[in-house]
Structure 1
Amino acid sequence: MTANIKKIPLAFGSTQIELNIPEGNISSIILPSEPEIKEGPAFLIKKALENPIKSRRLSEIVNQDSSVVIIVSDVTRPTPTAKLLPPLLEELYLGGAKDENITIVFALGLHRNQTEEESRKLVGEEIYEKIRCIQHDTLRCRRIGISSRGTPIEIFEDILDADVVIGTGSIEFHYYAGYSGGAKSVLPGVSSRESVITNHKMMIDEKAVSGRVDGPVRQDMEEAAIIFGLDFILNVMLDSKKEIVAAVAGDLVEAHRQGVEVVDSMYKVPVEPADAVIVSCGGFPKDINLFQANKALDNATQAVKAGGSIILVAECAEGIGNQVYECWNRECRSPDEAIERFKKCFEFGGHKTAIIAKVSKKFRLYLVSKLSDEETRNAFFTPMASVEDALSAVLAENPDAKIHLMPHGGQTLPVRKDN
């Protein structure tokens, strides 16, 4: 008697691959409980801007002489900036703001510079032509203070003299800031290298995990944004198809928390840990490189028993995605070596090697990607040519293995029922 085979599509870059898995081995398919979208994105954003949380409307904050900065996400983020900007600009125009006094700043944090084509695409052709768009530069930051946790607050000098600064972005789980969005557009978005690294050093704190707002990294980011004076945020929540399902606007902390409630209701999923998990990041841009893809892996660890297996499906078209991460992967011969090195020397990028090293000591890690076998092994994964091969390896060891499937690993956060 042949087992019933279930076909599961998994996003891989801009395409998808199909997984054929015996039904008897499926423990569950971990999916978001997404709301039905009744209104279009423009309506949701407009409504949020008209009803800001703990803030006046932007049209009441600006006037015809106001210099306005809008901080937007860079190319590594799924935020649909081109959909956020038109209603946001309308609200600013309502208060009298003029195009020539508005600057759009791409929040690169420590990421690479964008090409002009990427920048154009992110904001939309028409807006790119009429409004000044610039990229954050870590070398041109000025110190304006220090946080209570000792982080120097050094901000991109081109935005320090603006009358009104607006942060935009999307809210989803973040593996050490708890959630993205809110204050994150300031720190790391438009901060100096030293500010970002000092803040990120707190990622080894046990509260610095996905799905918590009380971790030190997020709290430090918010303190920095308050000291800097981030006037207003506009954040959206996306479903697994990257469509906008909700929007929040207003105070950088209060509005963010309301967004967090939406994310939790959609993406926190209670699970019993299984023998293995097959996780896809959800495709491009979440699996653009291994650096980004690790976020899905981090979420998946919550759904598997200690000693179990995790199969990560991530195209990684741009390779490892960070030179320091690549370098540490090459130089650290064992997980223990990576963990020890990280304790002695914090280096941004190296943190990924140390985090995966820690995970690889608990679980067996398989990777289906476009990386070379050597790069994959250096990163503490076992390379697999296809998701079927990886599944066969798991089933060869335990034919009755119960396996969770996470098609949207970057967004769904399993919460262990045994916690």
Structure 2
Amino acid sequence: MTDETISISFGRGHLSLRLPGIARPTLIRKQALPKIADQPAAIAAALNEPIGSPPLAELARGRKSACILICDITRPVPNRLFLRPMIETMIEAGIPRGKIVVLIATGLHRPNLGDELAELVGDPWVLENVRVENHYARNEEDHIDLGPTVTRGTPVKLDRRFVEADLRIATGLVEPHFMAGWSGGRKVIAPGVAHHQTIRTFHSARFMEDPLAVQCNLIGNPLHEEQLEIVRMLGDVYGLNTVLDEDRDLVCVSFGEIIASHAAAVAFISEVTQITSSRKFSTIVTSSAGYPLDKTYYQTIKGMVTPLDILEPGGTLIIASECSEGFGSAEFREAQARLVDLGPERFLATLTAKNLAEIDEWQTEMQLKPMRLGRIELYTTGLSGDDRTLTGVHMIDDIGKAIERSIAKSGDTAVAIIPEGPYVVPRFAA
């Protein structure tokens, strides 16, 4: 049997895998979806025929100000397609352009500035005509305290630019999320433009260790339920949701009342994203979905968690991530250092008594899930020195040889390959 080459997402392109001749590969990817031939027309139709709300032109009429939330650089949202038509509609309806702000929902991520900001917005006209600003979760004066949620007592503090806007719209990408079930919609508000105390409550162990806080699940998911309660505390909020295929082309766009429009996008993508497998695998090769999600090791952990349902206990999970921007925040580095020093069980014990998680330690907590189940091996070109040690996983320089070793160890030649990483969710069904 000759070697077979398959490619997976890596950086801004793809990484070719040379599989050993004995390997029996199973490709796990989203079902093909028809591409939208006329994307501007699809955006216009969504804005004119919304779900659960009047058209945008009618919503904007008589409003004095507007705030549009967009995701930060870690999400490949096609902002270039919809920001200008949304803003032009608002201006034509009478909202002064000086009272329209595009607010980047950074959560606790770093701000997007300079060339990166231009790339994120994707349209020079937007930058020239309205304010585009970053959310800073640690700036106390930037937030309004809405009080705690009734259900779980989460303190709710949100960016005042969004809370005080006369017209509030959150935009984003709907894809599997390893804690909140699905990204987009309500998640762009919290944690997107929330105060650090709100975010750190969301990411405490009482939420993170809940068995229902997993990808593709909204029913009983405590994070999702808190996000919905926060939306209702705000009052009228609207959402524009996009869905992309493996080529990053637009295949679905919905607009309208934020909860209803998000639910419509989830319904569209849910079945084609969750792929049933009739077996588990002792060897899995996956990615961090390429750029921009594989810019840091911090984001890479998402790709380790998503395929766990089809990993045989004791199996090997091989993940490729460029990590072009390196490791992640200083806080995440400190959490990883504690994991390496204490080991998984003792590290988790330090988290369970906290009401507020330390910043970015929740991603380290999520790494415990694959570590409990099997062996994690990482191929990257962006980490060196101590950073490689602080991952807490096994570093490899040759994916083909890693596959050979895994097959030799397990005696099973079947290999699952997930080119798009965390954007695809395998489900085991015997």
The interval holding the TM-score normalised by the smaller chain is: over 0.9
SS in 1 for 2:336: helix
Map of 2:208 onto structure 1: 203
**Whole-angstrom distance in 1 between the partners of 2:113 and 2:405:** 41
Are the equivalent residues in 1 in contact too, given 2:36–2:250 (CA < 8 A)?
no
1:287 aligns with 2:299: no
Are the equivalent residues in 2 in contact too, given 1:342–1:351 (CA < 8 A)?
no
Are the equivalent residues in 1 in contact too, given 2:237–2:257 (CA < 8 A)?
yes
Note closer, same or farther for the CA distance 1:279–1:188 as it changes in structure 2 (3 Å cut): same
Map of 1:143 onto structure 2: 145
Q: Cα distance, 1:231 vs. partner? A: 1.9
The one of 399, 420, 423 equivalent to 1:387 is 399
Letter in 1 for 2:134: Q
SS in 2 for 1:183: helix
The one of 150, 169, 175 equivalent to 1:172 is 175
Map of 1:359 onto structure 2: 370
Q: Cα distance, 1:270 vs. partner? A: 0.3
Letter in 1 for 2:298: F
Are the equivalent residues in 2 in contact too, given 1:25–1:403 (CA < 8 A)?
yes
Q: Cα distance, 1:94 vs. partner? A: 4.7
Are the equivalent residues in 2 in contact too, given 1:373–1:383 (CA < 8 A)?
no
1:262 aligns with 2:268: yes
**Whole-angstrom distance in 2 between the partners of 1:359 and 1:400:** 20
Q: For residues 65-76 of structure 1, what are the structure 2 equivalents within 5 Å?
A: 65-76=63-74
**Whole-angstrom distance in 1 between the partners of 2:159 and 2:268:** 31
1:246 aligns with 2:252: yes
Letter in 1 for 2:164: D
1:317 aligns with 2:324: yes
Are the equivalent residues in 2 in contact too, given 1:356–1:380 (CA < 8 A)?
no
SS in 2 for 1:253: helix
Q: Cα distance, 1:216 vs. partner? A: 0.6
**Whole-angstrom distance in 1 between the partners of 2:7 and 2:373:** 28
Map of 2:224 onto structure 1: 218
Range 342-351 or range 407-416, more displaced: 342-351
Range 36-45 or range 268-277, more displaced: 36-45
Deviations 1:97-141 (A, max 9, x none): 332221111111111112232222222211101111111122121
SS in 2 for 1:235: strand
Map of 1:161 onto structure 2: 164
Are the equivalent residues in 1 in contact too, given 2:169–2:237 (CA < 8 A)?
yes
**Whole-angstrom distance in 1 between the partners of 2:58 and 2:147:** 29
Note closer, same or farther for the CA distance 1:97–1:23 as it changes in structure 2 (3 Å cut): farther
**Whole-angstrom distance in 2 between the partners of 1:217 and 1:308:** 30
Letter in 2 for 1:224: I
Are the equivalent residues in 1 in contact too, given 2:287–2:303 (CA < 8 A)?
yes
SS in 1 for 2:156: strand
Range 277-286 or range 334-343, more displaced: 334-343
Map of 2:126 onto structure 1: 127
**Whole-angstrom distance in 2 between the partners of 1:223 and 1:26:** 47
Deviations 1:65-111 (A, max 9, x none): 52111111111111111212123224334533332221111111111
**Whole-angstrom distance in 2 between the partners of 1:375 and 1:117:** 26
Are the equivalent residues in 2 in contact too, given 1:68–1:103 (CA < 8 A)?
yes
Letter in 2 for 1:409: G
**Whole-angstrom distance in 2 between the partners of 1:253 and 1:73:** 17
Q: Cα distance, 1:23 vs. partner? A: 6.0
Note closer, same or farther for the CA distance 1:182–1:23 as it changes in structure 2 (3 Å cut): farther
1:413 aligns with 2:412: no
Q: Cα distance, 1:164 vs. partner? A: 0.5
Q: Cα distance, 1:208 vs. partner? A: 0.3
Map of 2:83 onto structure 1: 85
**Whole-angstrom distance in 2 between the partners of 1:270 and 1:263:** 15
1:188 aligns with 2:188: no
Letter in 2 for 1:412: V
Letter in 2 for 1:125: P
SS in 1 for 2:275: strand
Are the equivalent residues in 1 in contact too, given 2:231–2:237 (CA < 8 A)?
no
Q: For residues 103-114 of structure 1, what are the structure 2 equivalents within 5 Å?
A: 103-114=101-112
Are the equivalent residues in 2 in contact too, given 1:357–1:380 (CA < 8 A)?
no
Count of equivalent residues: 416
Map of 1:274 onto structure 2: 281
**Whole-angstrom distance in 2 between the partners of 1:189 and 1:398:** 42
Q: Cα distance, 1:12 vs. partner? A: 1.6
Are the equivalent residues in 1 in contact too, given 2:283–2:403 (CA < 8 A)?
no
Q: Cα distance, 1:17 vs. partner? A: 2.0
Range 403-412 or range 377-386, more displaced: 377-386
Deviations 1:305-333 (A, max 9, x none): 11111001001112221222211211232
TM-score (norm 1): 0.94
Note closer, same or farther for the CA distance 1:410–1:41 as it changes in structure 2 (3 Å cut): farther
Root mean square deviation, CA, Å: 1.8
SS in 1 for 2:350: helix
Q: Cα distance, 1:27 vs. partner? A: 4.3
Unaligned runs of 5+ in 1: none
**Whole-angstrom distance in 2 between the partners of 1:39 and 1:166:** 26
The one of 370, 374, 384 equivalent to 1:372 is 384
Q: What is the aligned-residue identity percentage?
A: 25
The one of 344, 350, 353 equivalent to 1:344 is 353
Note closer, same or farther for the CA distance 1:122–1:230 as it changes in structure 2 (3 Å cut): farther
SS in 2 for 1:343: coil
SS in 2 for 1:410: helix
Letter in 2 for 1:173: P
Q: Cα distance, 1:371 vs. partner? A: 1.7
Deviations 1:18-44 (A, max 9, x none): 111146523410011021214232222
Note closer, same or farther for the CA distance 1:260–1:65 as it changes in structure 2 (3 Å cut): closer
